[in-house]
Structure 1
Amino acid sequence: MDRNVLRGVLLAFLAYALFAVSDASVKLLKGSLPVYEVIFWGALMGFVILPLVRRPGERYADAFRARDWRLWFVRAGAAMTGSLGSVMAFTWLPMAEAFSILFLLPAFVTIFSVVFLREQVGWRRWAAVVMGFVGVLVVLRPGFREINPGHVGAFVGALSSAVTIVMLRALGQKEKRVSLYGAGLLGPLIGGFVLMLPSFVWPSAEQWLWLAGYGLLAAGGNALLMLASGLAPASLVAPPQYSQMIWALGFGYWLFHDRLDVPMLAGVLIIVAAGGFTFLREKERGPKGWRRAPLVHPQ
C-alpha cells in the first residue's frame, strides 16, 4: 500500500475514534439536557473547522449560499434529523446497540442510490442489504423486548445519513465544499435553536464539558476525515467506520456497564459483515460508488 494511502487510512481510524468519544460524551450527559439543545451546541461548535473546510477561492459567506437550493435544504434537513436521531440513540441505548442500527447506513445508501440516482445494483449488494436488516431484527427481537425512542432515533439517524450521502453525491460537482458543510451545520443549528427555546436550560459546568466533547471532538473527527480523504480514496476511508464498534464495546463495558447478550452480539456481527461486504463491492465498482462519498462525517 502506498505510504500516503496508509496514512489516510490511519487518519480515518483516528477520526472515527474521535467520533466514538464524541458519541460517548452524549451518553455521559445522561439525558440531562433537551436533545434539541445538545444538537444546537454541537452544530455551533462545528464551525471551528470551517477554515479547514474552505478551499482556496471559496468565501466563508459561501456556507450560506447554494446553486441548487432545493437539494441544499434537503441536505440541511437530513443533517438536522440525523443529529437528532443519533443523539436520541446514544442517550437511550447501549453504544454497541446504537451503532449496530446506525451501521445500516450502507444498506440505505444502496436503496436510495437505486431510487434517486438510478444506479445499477447487482444481487450481491441486494443480498447484503437483506442481510443487514436481518441483523437488525436479531438485535431488536421485536415482540421479545421493548422498543424505545433510542431505536427510532438510530433508524432515523441511519436514514438521514444515507440521504446526506446521496445528496452529496448529487451535489458534489455542483456546490462548493464550504456550502455543503454549511448546510450540515445550519440545519441542526437553526432547527435545534427553534425547538430548544420552550425548554432551554443553561448548561452546568459538567454539562459544558460533555457538550464540548460532543461538538469539538466531532469537529476534530471531521477535520481528520477530510485529511484522510485527501490521501486515500473514500472506498478505503469509509470501512474504518466499523472500528467504532470496538470503542463502543469498550466504553459500554468499562464506562457505562452495558450488558449485551449473545443474540445482540450475533446481530451486530451480521450487520457489520453486511456493511463491510457493501464497502468491498463499492470499491470494485470504482469511482461511481463510495469514492464519491462525503469528505465530512454525514451525521
Structure 2
Amino acid sequence: MQAGILLAFAAYFSFACGDATLKAIGHRLPVFEVGFFISLVALLPALFTKRPEDSWTNVFVPKRPGLLAVRMASGTMGGILGVVAFTTLPLAEAYALIFLLPIFVTVFSFVVLKEEIGWRRWLAVIGGLVGVVLVVRPGFREILPGHFAAVGVAICGAITVIVLRVLGPSERRVTLIGAVLVAAVVVNGVLMIPDFQAPSGDLWPLIVFGGLVVGLAHLLLVFATRFASAARVAPTQYSQIIWATVMGAMFFEEFPDLIAMIGMALVGVSGLFTFVREKEKTVWPQKTPLLRNR
C-alpha cells in the first residue's frame, strides 16, 4: 500500500508538471492545437496500461459504448477547458476551482442518482464554496474566462466520476484512458484546422515533455491502484495544489496571498471530507479505477 501511495504522489506530480507545461505553451499556440499535440504524445505511455491478458482487438471494443461516449465527451471537454484555465489563471488558483469536483459529485449524486446526502456532506459543499469565494473574491478582483473554464473542468470531472461508477467494474482501464485521449486528438485535431499555426522549434521540447509526463502520470496511477485501493490513493491528488503553488512561484512569479491560501486550504479540506463520507456511504471508490479527473 505504501508503494501505491508513493506512486500516486509521483503521478500527481507528473500531472502538475504537465499542467505547468500547458501554461508555458498555451499563450503561444491556439487552445485546440495545445490539446491536440499534448494528447497525441500522451497516447504513447498510456498504451502501456494494457494488461497482458487483454488483446489489442478487445481493447477497442467497449462493453458499454454509450456510457463510454459520455466519458469521452466529458474528458475531452474538460481537457479543452483545462487548457483555457491553466493559460489564463495562476496555477494554484485554477486547481482550487477544479477541486470543486467532489462538491459537484455530491450534488450530482443527489440529483441524478437519488443518493441520500447527510448534513455533514452538505456542510462540506458550503465550505468548498466559501473557499472558492476567498480565492476568487468576486467584486474585488476581475472575473476572467479562465475562472468559468476551471469550474467547467470540475463539472466535467464530476460527470466522469458518475459515469465511472457504472463503467469502472466492467471496462478495461486502457479502454477508459485510451478512448479519452483518442477523442481528444480527433476533436482538437478537427477544431484546430481553421487557425492552425505550426509550432516554432523551441516549443517542441515543451510539447513532447508535456505529453510524456501526462501519459506517464496515467501509467503511474494504474500501477498505484494495483498496489493500493483507489480509496487509499485518491486523497493524494490534493498534493497538486502544493506542486502548483511551488511551480507557479518558481516559473511564473505567481504568489498567492494569505486569503487565497486559506481559501485553497478550505477547498482541499472540504473535498477530502466529501471523499471520506462518500467512501463510508458507498462502495464506488473501491470499484472505480482512479483516473485523471479531466
Determine the C-alpha separation between the residues in 1 that align with 2:215 and 2:136.
31
Give SS of 1:259's match: coil
After TM superposition, give the deviation of residue 47 of structure 1 in Å: 1.7
From 53, 63, 69, give the equivalent of 1:67: 63
Is the alpha carbon distance of 1:62 and 1:133 closer, same or farther for their aligned partners in structure 2, counting shifts above 3 Å? Answer: farther
Give SS of 2:252's match: coil
How big is each residue's C-alpha offset from its partner over 1:31-87, in whole Å with a ceiling of 9 and x where there is no partner? 101111111112112221344222244333445432322211111111111101111
Is 116-125 or 84-93 further displaced after alignment? 116-125
- The answer for the alignment partner of 2:258 in structure 1 is 262
TM-score using structure 2 length: 0.94
Q: Note if contact 1:63-1:181 (Cα within 8 Å) is conserved in structure 2.
A: no
Within a 5 Å distance, the mapping from 1:154-173 to structure 2 comes to: 154-173=150-169
Determine the C-alpha separation between the residues in 1 that align with 2:122 and 2:58.
38
Alignment RMSD, CA only?
A: 1.7
From 289, 294, 298, give the equivalent of 2:289: 294
Determine the C-alpha separation between the residues in 1 that align with 2:248 and 2:154.
21
Within a 5 Å distance, the mapping from 1:205-224 to structure 2 comes to: 205-224=201-220
Determine the C-alpha separation between the residues in 1 that align with 2:219 and 2:258.
36
How big is each residue's C-alpha offset from its partner over 1:198-220, in whole Å with a ceiling of 9 and x where there is no partner? 01111122211221222110110
Pair 1:32 & 2:32 matched? no
- The answer for the alignment partner of 1:279 in structure 2 is 275
Is 75-84 or 122-131 further displaced after alignment? 122-131
Question: What amino acid is aligned across from residue 143 of structure 1 in structure 2?
Answer: G
Determine the C-alpha separation between the residues in 2 that align with 1:193 and 1:85.
16
Count of residue correspondences: 294
- The answer for the alignment partner of 2:192 in structure 1 is 196
TM-score using structure 1 length: 0.92
After TM superposition, give the deviation of residue 114 of structure 1 in Å: 2.7
Q: Note if contact 1:90-1:150 (Cα within 8 Å) is conserved in structure 2.
A: yes
- The answer for the alignment partner of 1:122 in structure 2 is 118
Is the alpha carbon distance of 1:50 and 1:140 closer, same or farther for their aligned partners in structure 2, counting shifts above 3 Å? Answer: closer
Determine the C-alpha separation between the residues in 1 that align with 2:181 and 2:36.
9
How big is each residue's C-alpha offset from its partner over 1:238-296, in whole Å with a ceiling of 9 and x where there is no partner? 111111111111111121111322221221111011012122223434x6242233333
Pair 1:230 & 2:226 matched? yes
Determine the C-alpha separation between the residues in 2 that align with 1:283 and 1:66.
27
Question: What amino acid is aligned across from residue 121 of structure 2 in structure 1?
Answer: R
From 180, 184, 195, give the equivalent of 2:180: 184
After TM superposition, give the deviation of residue 116 of structure 1 in Å: 2.9
Q: Note if contact 2:89-2:146 (Cα within 8 Å) is conserved in structure 1.
A: yes
Q: Note if contact 1:235-1:282 (Cα within 8 Å) is conserved in structure 2.
A: no
Question: What amino acid is aligned across from residue 79 of structure 2 in structure 1?
Answer: S
The percent identity for this pair of structures is 42
- The answer for the alignment partner of 2:107 in structure 1 is 111
- The answer for the alignment partner of 1:252 in structure 2 is 248
Q: Where does structure 2 lack aligned partners over 5 or more consecutive residues?
A: none
After TM superposition, give the deviation of residue 26 of structure 1 in Å: 0.9
